[in-house]
Amino acid sequence: MKKNNEPIYVTKPSLAPLEEYVELLKGVWENGILTHNGPLVQRLERELCQKMGLNNFVAVSNGTIALQMAIKALELQGEIITTPFTWIATVSAIKWEGCTPVFCDIDPGTLNIDPTKIEDHITDKTVAIMPVHVFGNPCDVEAIDAIARKYNLKIIYDAAHAIGSTYKGKSLLEYGNVSATSLHATKLLNTAEGGGCVTSNVELDKKLQRLRFFGHNEDKDIVEDGFNGKMTEVHAALGLANLKYHDDVLNDRKKKYRMYHESLSEISNLQFQKISDGECNYSYFPVIFPSEELLNKVEKALNDKNIFPRRYFYPSVNTYSKVVKYESMPISEVISKRILCLPLYFNLTSNAQELIIKTIMNRIAVK
């Protein structure tokens, strides 16, 4: 097998043809509006709503800020139950808003928060649940909703990975009091940096709009304790250009996801995330190895061929001692050590994907 010359990373941004982006930028140059909820941000919000069947979308500067704004808008103070199997941003957002993250372990199949364990973590200080739709795979939103109703808690979905995912025919972003998504370069749809909040509550939507803009109302009076979460026109232009290709990107991911799944299923000791087929957006392809030792060997074999998968999410966030007080989360900790996300993106060629599959198979076959 020959070594791949160009490095293959875990992902590569899906980008519209440059001319289409430049065409959108011409308008920005002409009218000189660069930011402050300009015409392109408003258009991106409108087109995203049309495409995803949403009632509203509050575009912001990144997914972490979207999470913070959701907490702020719901005026939460206290404990927020979340998953340890996530990116650090979930927990930083909770902490930056002065709340306390409380971890609840995950389901070993779906890799999402295990709803049967949430009630064990509820105290008189609990104010909300912040589950993550891990790798775009929908959480058990009905079970989580039932718990929230029973204990009068808010739900904020960390939907950073979930653009394009659905649940029972609706966008997954429609669930929870607020869903916060990311439009980062590494996501299915990107504005380079960016994100957004979605809520079906009209008043909350207006509040989120004010919060991202220093707390101004339309008359520029300060009516909220806001901050700067605005998206710029330059970022919105990129989002609009890319949005045109969203269906192509989604379909391509699904094909490549299936290709990995079919080929690697031949190896009996590998496990895969239990996804809701047809609802998950196939944005990542995680493989769970029987041991960390085998993962390391496979990762090294891939690296030797200039291929760089990523250990999302490693380590389990409850073990970050600089950020949180450690509490054992056995399932998340074990899976974090054994999970590897393989390269998956629009421009990944079939030759490259075959090389990745063969490298894994060959390495596992070696005793």
Based on CB atoms, which residue is closest to ligand T4K, 90 or 359? Answer: 90
149 and 155 Cβ atoms separated by less than 8 Å: no
Based on CB atoms, which residue is closest to ligand T4K, 186 or 332? Answer: 186
To ligand T4K, the closest distance from the beta carbon of 65 in angstroms equals 7
Angle at 60 (CA atoms; ends 54, 66), nearest 5 degrees? 80
Burial class (CB in 10 A: 0-12, 13-18, 19+), 319: middle
Based on CB atoms, which residue is closest to ligand T4K, 182 or 199? Answer: 182
To ligand T4K, the closest distance from the beta carbon of 28 in angstroms equals 21
Based on CB atoms, which residue is closest to ligand T4K, 9 or 227? Answer: 9
To ligand T4K, the closest distance from the beta carbon of 161 in angstroms equals 6
DSSP character for 137? P
DSSP character for 173? G
196 closest CA partner among 175, 182, 211, 217: 182
The enclosing H or E element of 197 equals strand 195-198
* Beta strands 79-82; 100-103: pairing state: parallel
| Angle of the 63-73 helix axis to the 202-211 helix axis, nearest 10 | 120
DSSP character for 230? P
**Which position's Cβ is nearest ligand T4K?**
63
To ligand T4K, the closest distance from the beta carbon of 251 in angstroms equals 21
To ligand T4K, the closest distance from the beta carbon of 202 in angstroms equals 25
Residues in touch with ligand T4K (CB under 6 A): 9-13, 62-64, 86-87, 89-90, 132, 158, 160-161, 182, 184-186, 195, 308, 310, 312
Based on CB atoms, which residue is closest to ligand T4K, 105 or 364? Answer: 105
